[in-house]
Amino acid sequence: MIRKLITFLASLVLIALTIAMLFLASAIYDSANKTSVDTFFFQTNRLSEMRPGAPVTAAEIGETAMREMLIKKYVNEYFYAIPDAENIARRTSRGSTLFHLSTPNVFNTWIQTEGETISAMAEQKMMRMVEIDGEIYKPSDSDYWVVPYVLYTWTNANDMASAPVITRGTLLMDVFYAPGTRDTFDVGNYLKHGYNRFEPAREPATIFRFGVRNLEQITND
């Protein structure tokens, strides 16, 4: 009888040990971050810039449209210029949106070309905006996406009689893209703390698995 009682108590101890191990394992598992991010985008309402449409998920937008949105974002970051030295300093620094969306080679080349240009434009109080000028496509025999663009450059600030200078060109972009968000940094933590519009940190475009490996610029005129 005593032997059986000992066996029973030993079993209880075994169960208790198993439960303890279970909680220990859970605690170790919990100590690592495991998050998933569902991204919602405003579907722009054509009627009013101030009246957003219904949010849609990244999955609903689809891979093709997402890639196009990211390419457009990249082209904007590449070219736009405003008369604000802090803006230019932030964009040309390591850690900028373009830095995260480019390979080091592409970013360094940009710094030496368009980076210099937008710095000079900001000093001269000029403004430049960019629009995608037609369809973004990839020829079947090429690794490069063809991105036609048009630049509007205002050369004279505070002159309401001056119209922008219009320049057209094409970017050839070797792009990598995969659905979902990057796992190389803590996206959840970044999203949680980065949405103060008065202190913008990293732009949310950088959380996606998108980057430019190679880039060539062709000016049409």
* Positions that interact with other proteins (CB under 8 A): 1, 4, 7-8, 11, 14-15, 18-19, 22, 26, 29-30, 34-42, 44, 49-50, 52, 55, 57, 69, 72-73, 76-77, 80, 82-84, 86-87, 90, 125, 127, 129-130, 154, 157-164, 187-188, 191-192, 194-200, 203-205
How far apart are CB 141 and other proteins at their closest, in Å?
30
How far apart are CB 80 and other proteins at their closest, in Å?
4
Closer Cβ to other proteins, 90 or 216, answer by number: 90
How far apart are CB 61 and other proteins at their closest, in Å?
10
Closer Cβ to other proteins, 142 or 189, answer by number: 189
Sign for the pseudo-dihedral over CA of 151, 155, 158, 164: negative
Closer Cβ to other proteins, 2 or 141, answer by number: 2
Closer Cβ to other proteins, 47 or 160, answer by number: 160
Residue 123 to residues 88, 170, 187: CA-CA distances in angstroms?
10, 26, 35
Answer for the pair 94, 124: CB distance below 8 angstroms, yes or no: no
Which tokens belong to 186? 């803590």
Answer for the pair 74, 212: CB distance below 8 angstroms, yes or no: yes
DSSP class of residue 115 equals I
How far apart are CB 92 and other proteins at their closest, in Å?
13
How far apart are CB 115 and other proteins at their closest, in Å?
16
Closer Cβ to other proteins, 155 or 217, answer by number: 155
166 phi/psi in degrees, rounded to 5: -105, 130
C-alpha to C-alpha distance for 218 and 172, rounded to whole angstroms: 8
Residue type, 108: N
Query: Are β-strands 145-154 and 55-57 bridged in parallel, bridged antiparallel, or unpaired?
Result: unpaired
Tokens 């904007």 label which residue?
76
